[in-house]
Amino acid sequence: MGLLPPAFSTELYRDVVGVATASPAWVQDFMRHFTELSIILLMLLWLAAWWRARSAPATTMALALVGPAAGVTAYLTSEVAKTFLTEERPCRAVGLPIVAAECPPVGDWSFPSNHSTIAGALFIAVFLVSWRLGIAAMIVGTSAAFSRVFVGVHYPHDVLTGFFLGATLTALVTLLVLRPATRAVTSLRAVPALRPILATPAAMVPATVRAERPLAGTGTRHHY
């Protein structure tokens, strides 16, 4: 027998799905597409964070590169957990009409939510590089998790657990390997073929040199 959902989560699922099915058609269409496109939006935010990290110290670039890789660990963890916990999808167990085009097939278990795990992982991956972009990633990520309940394919506890799992594991793995990753980025920035990916010219100037450079128009004048 598989994992049984908690009663509060089932009731909350009923409430959210009830609102979803009573929503205007354009809202349903938007959420049906957003639940998939939200992951692409999060990846675009990560790309923006990586682009900014090119002009930042090696530690920031290391965070930008390691974050998504650490997120793979979170995703694999959620995927393995599904095979042991085998919680049936609410769209089959509860049996309410849903906004999603169809309920996932039997054997595609519900707990935890892979979408939400990826969303949580990408949110942290962006946030560790830039808190401003991280706020946008948090809004998109939490909306992505909620959308999985709205369209009817996950219970609320599925998405909460998935998001927390993705964010926590990604943060822990990233911080554990940050030092060696920073050393690797510092070395790889010296490779001409990789330099455009890892750094801008300004980022390659040592901090001490940047600090010693006079501002334009303030250079020392010599009188003879």
Could you give the 3-state DSSP secondary structure of residue 53? Answer: helix
Instruction: Please determine, for residue 224, whether its predicted confidence score (pLDDT) is greater than 80.
Output: no
What's the angle, vertex CA 184, arms to CA 51 and CA 75, rounded to 5?
65
Structure-block tokens of residue 212: 């010693």
Cα–Cα distance for residue pair 200/51, rounded to 1 Å: 9
**Mean local confidence (pLDDT), 151-155:** 96
Instruction: Please determine, for residue 204, whether its predicted confidence score (pLDDT) is greater than 90.
Output: no
* Percent of the residues in the chain that have a pLDDT greater than 70, as a whole number: 89
What's the angle, vertex CA 166, arms to CA 27 and CA 186, rounded to 5?
120
User: What domains can you pick out in the chain, each with its CATH number?
Assistant: 7-100+113-198 (1.20.144)
pLDDT in tens, 47-67: 999 999 999 999 999 999 999
DSSP tag of 89: P
Question: What pLDDT is stored for residue 205 in this prediction?
Answer: 58
Strands (E), the chain: none
5-19 burial by CB neighbour count: b if 16+ within 10 A, else e? beeebbeebeebbee
Task: Please report, as a single letter, which amino acid is at residue 27.
Answer: V
pLDDT in tens, 78-114: 999 998 999 999 999 998 899 998 899 988 899 999 9
Cα–Cα distance for residue pair 108/88, rounded to 1 Å: 8
Confidence band of 202 (pLDDT split at 50, 70, 90): low
pLDDT in tens, 171-193: 999 999 999 999 999 999 999 99
pTM for this entry = 0.86
Question: What pLDDT is stored for residue 116 in this prediction?
Answer: 97
